[in-house]
Amino acid sequence: MNGEQLRKKTSDGGIVYGTMLSMGRNPRWSQAISAFGLDYVIIDTEHAPRSRAEVADFLAAFTYSGVVPIVRIPIPASHYVTMYIDAGAQGVLAPYCETVDQVKEVVAAARWRPLKGALAEKAVETGELPSQATRAYLENRNKNNVCIIGIESVPAIENLENMLQVEGIDAIFVGPNDLTITLGIPDQYDHPNYEAALREIIAKSEAAGKPVLIHHQTVQLTQKWLREGARFVLYSSDARTMHNGYKEEFGEIKSVGSELGGETIGDVGESEEVI
């Protein structure tokens, strides 16, 4: 699958599956990830300490993996959009968008790169480009670019319908940690106000024909919101999934060791990663 195919599948109502890469840095990691049956991965640069060169090497390794690499950029700014698409990303996730102008800047960079400045603004505002040849050229050049907008605050929800009117958005991302903080209920993912907020986001996005991805960290929450309409599935991260796998499997091994050696088993606990 490539970015164009991912965009088509989601726009047609299909379900796609992916995860966040918060820890992996070595390009060889892409070989393992491509065997997981995922459609896409999001390489984080908002919270994860990755250099531009590291991300570029990682993106090159994903080129022929069949997994669509999308970069979560640090802020919703055109510079970061074009920087990572130029490096080989097949899409960007722009976090914490709250205004129409922020969305327009991201969309202009993702859809009409390398057009910049007044002409890029005009393309987003009116759909007008210098010529039909320019339109055809840029549409082909940017056909694999998946453009995801992050809705992570109460002001963002209040302005979501206006932001969704900007042409060129492919999906709406929800960051649960940030959203619950702005709701005044940090990390309370079963709180009625949080659930109401998600349903409002899904309803508004569905009305605009845009799929929603919610970055939940448990299978149960991911399943629940898949049933409630989140068709662009974004589950957990490489660090958290590795933690859970080792916790479960070594827990089983240590239980036998405890029987044989008479030692108590220490509780590894849950992953403390917040991303």
Residue 258 pLDDT: 87
Task: Tell me the per-residue pLDDT of 104-130, one tens digit each, with 9 for 90 and over.
Answer: 999 999 999 999 999 999 999 999 999
Residue 128 counted as domain residue: yes
Q: How far apart are CA 148 and CA 222, in angstroms?
A: 19
| Cα angle, residue 248 at apex, residues 244 and 252 outer, rounded to 5° | 165
Residue 225 counted as domain residue: yes
Residue 268 counted as domain residue: no
Place of tokens 């992996």: 24
Residue 57 counted as domain residue: yes
Spans in the chain with pLDDT lower than 50: none
Residue 254 counted as domain residue: yes
Residue 266 pLDDT: 76
Residue 92 pLDDT: 98
Residue 79 pLDDT: 96
Residue 115 counted as domain residue: yes
Residue 262 pLDDT: 74
Residue 196 counted as domain residue: yes
Residue 271 counted as domain residue: no
Q: How far apart are CA 257 and CA 14, in angstroms?
A: 46
Residue 24 pLDDT: 87
CATH code for the domain in which residue 38 is found: 3.20.20.60
Number of domains in the chain: 1
Contact, 208 vs 162, CB < 8 A? no
pTM of the model: 0.94
| Owning domain of residue 180 | 3-261
Residue 208 pLDDT: 97
Residue 130 pLDDT: 96
